């Protein structure tokens, strides 16, 4: 096998050829500025309108509740900072979780330096927040609950409907970072009582650098990017027309195939998980066994350095990740793995494999074969492992 086996779809996905094809005319033929009055620009306006419509429909939202942004990070920043500003007179307390994406966590830390108080909820060993703890954290000055729909590292899906109900009952706004979940699981903003939702094109086979924020009608918010009158004056800047077209097309395609895609991915994911758990010793599955994204597998291998493993997988043409793409380059173990209670040394030995419907069982067989070889090799160099296996009563599983 000399082709690359790409198992890092939580970091980014391949843009579908149909999406690229849909985008091309908006670079070449229809390059007009959507804000211009002449007829030449109307195909651009119409294309934006069409994409907005498709996205609104996918969430059971209204068209004018969808605001295009440059991606998930911007949407998270906008939702949290603008709410903080608009509702500061009501209160300065925000509730989030310890396992959010850095786009949420670092935004909250930024607000803490500016007089806001943030409660970071714990999660259980599977990465799920405790609803009782959420209820206890609510105060009269709480203005926002921001909890991600599904985690990007361990794939765990949160009880979003219950969180939405709690927020609504207390008159608190509810934002969810749904970047990993959107177009992968069904979402209805009304049913889940979501007030704001972030999503990103490149996590659903669309282009990079484009996303949106859903903002429920009636919410007080603030412009995030000051400038022209684009996006109903809330997000200035000439629209990324090709990006918006690509995002709309990707959403239409992903929504149309969601069920069968999920079925294929789940089957393949379970095959991979079962095989690794059966064939490798001292391994643990991180995240909930059932209640997780259909394409996510995350393992902790004891006595192994995750980074060494990634490099050796790479030498075999396999793309995976240890923790998340955003933590690579830093030697700290992932905040998510620490939050679910893994000790530092085990969190360091983690491997995330996120697949897509195009992967095959043959690829999974090859990957597990390579994991076995690599784990054996790295452990043979580990004095800790040597000591451990010689201990009386050492078991094969964590
Ligand atoms: C990828 C990701 C983001 C960031 O999205 P970008 O479009 O890359 O800015 C935010 N939150 C989650 C959960 C993600 O997986």
3-class DSSP string for the chain: CCCCEECECCCCCCCCHHHHHHHHHHCCCCCCCCCCCCHHHHHHHHHHHHHHHHHHHHHCCCHHHEEEECCHHHHHHHHHHHHHHHHCCCCCEEEEECCCCHHHHHHHHHHHCCCCEEEEECECCCCCECHHHHHHHCCCCEEEEECCCECCCCCEECCHHHHHHHHHHCCCEEEEECCCCECCECCCCCCCCCCEEEEEHHHCCCCCCCEEEEECCCCCCCCCECCCCCHHHCECCCCCHHHHHHHHHHHHHHHHHHHHHHHHHHHHHHHHHHHHHHHCCCEEECCCCCCECCCEEEEEECCCCHHHHHHHHHHCCEECECCCCCCCCCCCCCHHHHHCCCCHHHHCCEEEEECCCCCCHHHHHHHHHHHHHHHHHHHHCCHHHHHHHHCCCCCCCC
Report which protein residue has its CA nearest ligand 1's atom 12.
179
Compute the distance from residue 99 Cα to the ligand 1 centre, in Å: 13
CA of 200 to the centre of ligand 1 (A): 7
Q: Please tell me the predicted confidence (pLDDT) of residue 196.
A: 98
* Contact assessment for residue 176 and residue 147, using Cβ atoms and an 8 Å cutoff: yes
Averaged in consecutive runs of 10 residues, what is the pLDDT profile of the chain (398 residues)? 87 98 98 96 97 98 98 98 96 98 98 98 97 98 98 98 98 98 98 98 98 97 92 94 98 97 97 97 95 97 92 97 58 89 90 97 98 95 83 65
326 is catalytic: yes
Ligand 1 centre distance from Cα of residue 395 (Å): 38
15, 73, 224, 325: residue to mutate for ligand 1 pocket, most atoms within 8 A of CB: 73
Pocket of ligand 1 (CB under 6 A): 71-73, 101, 103, 148, 152, 177, 179-180, 200, 202-203, 211
Cβ-in-10-Å burial (0-12, 13-18, 19+) of 97 comes to buried
Give bridge partners of residue 6 from the DSSP assignment: 319
Nearest atom, ligand 1, residue 209 CA: 7
Nearest CA to ligand 1 atom 10: 72
CA-324 nearest atom, ligand 1: 15
How much distance in Å is there from the Cα of 12 to the middle of ligand 1? 9
What's the CA-to-centroid distance between 183 and ligand 1, angstroms? 14
Atom of ligand 1 nearest to the CA of 10: 15
**Could you tell me which of 338, 351, 357, 235 has the C-alpha nearest to residue 295?**
357
CB 317 within 8 A of CB 327: no
**Catalytic-role residue among 44, 183, 326, 356:** 326
Give dist(CA 360, CA 281) in Å, integer. 24
Ligand 1, pocket-test mutation among 74, 78, 102, 103, most atoms within 8 A of CB: 103
Q: What is the pLDDT of residue 397?
A: 54
CB atoms near residue 169 (< 10 Å) = 11
> Which ligand 1 atom is nearest residue 103's CA?
10
Which among 177, 204, 207 is the best mutation to test ligand 1's pocket, defined by most ligand atoms within 8 Å of the CB?
Answer: 177
**Ligand 1 centroid, distance to 224 Cα (angstroms):** 18
């Amino acid at each position: 096998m000399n082709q690359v086996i790409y198992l890092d779809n939580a970091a980014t996905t391949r843009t579908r050829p149909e999406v690229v094809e849909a985008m091309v005319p908006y670079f070449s033929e229809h390059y007009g500025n959507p804000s211009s009055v002449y007829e030449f620009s109307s195909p651009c306006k119409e294309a934006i309108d069409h994409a907005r419509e498709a996205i609104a429909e996918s969430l059971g939202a209204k068209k004018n509740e969808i605001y295009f942004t440059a991606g998930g990070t911007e949407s998270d920043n906008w939702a949290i900072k603008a709410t903080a500003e608009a509702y500061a007179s009501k209160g300065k307390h925000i509730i989030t979780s310890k396992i959010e994406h850095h786009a949420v966590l670092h935004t909250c830390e930024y607000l803490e330096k500016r007089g806001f108080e943030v409660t970071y909820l714990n999660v259980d060993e599977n990465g799920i927040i405790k609803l009782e703890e959420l209820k206890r954290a609510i105060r009269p000055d709480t203005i926002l609950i921001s909890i991600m729909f599904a985690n990007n590292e361990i794939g765990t899906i949160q009880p979003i409907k219950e969180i939405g109900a709690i927020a609504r009952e207390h008159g608190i706004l509810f934002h969810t970072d749904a970047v990993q979940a959107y177009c992968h699981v069904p979402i209805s903003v009304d049913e889940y009582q979501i007030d704001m939702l972030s999503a990103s094109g490149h996590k659903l086979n669309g282009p990079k650098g484009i996303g949106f924020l859903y903002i429920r009608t009636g919410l007080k918010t603030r412009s995030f990017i000051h400038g022209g009158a684009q996006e109903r004056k809330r997000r200035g800047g000439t629209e990324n027309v090709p990006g918006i077209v690509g995002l709309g097309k990707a959403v239409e395609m992903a929504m149309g195939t969601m069920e069968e895609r999920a079925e294929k991915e789940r089957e393949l994911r379970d095959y991979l998980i079962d095989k690794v758990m059966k064939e490798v010793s001292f391994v643990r599955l991180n995240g909930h066994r059932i209640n997780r994204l259909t394409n996510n597998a995350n393992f902790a291998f004891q006595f192994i350095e995750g980074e060494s493993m990634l490099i050796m997988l790479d030498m075999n043409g396999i793309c995976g990740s240890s923790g998340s793409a955003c933590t690579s380059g830093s030697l700290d173990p992932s905040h998510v793995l620490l939050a679910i209670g893994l000790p530092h040394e085990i969190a360091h030995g983690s491997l995330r494999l996120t697949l897509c419907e195009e992967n095959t069982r043959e690829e999974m067989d090859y990957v597990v074969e390579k994991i076995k070889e690599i784990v054996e090799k790295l452990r043979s160099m580990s004095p800790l492992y040597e000591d451990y296996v010689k201990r009386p009563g050492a078991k094969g599983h964590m």
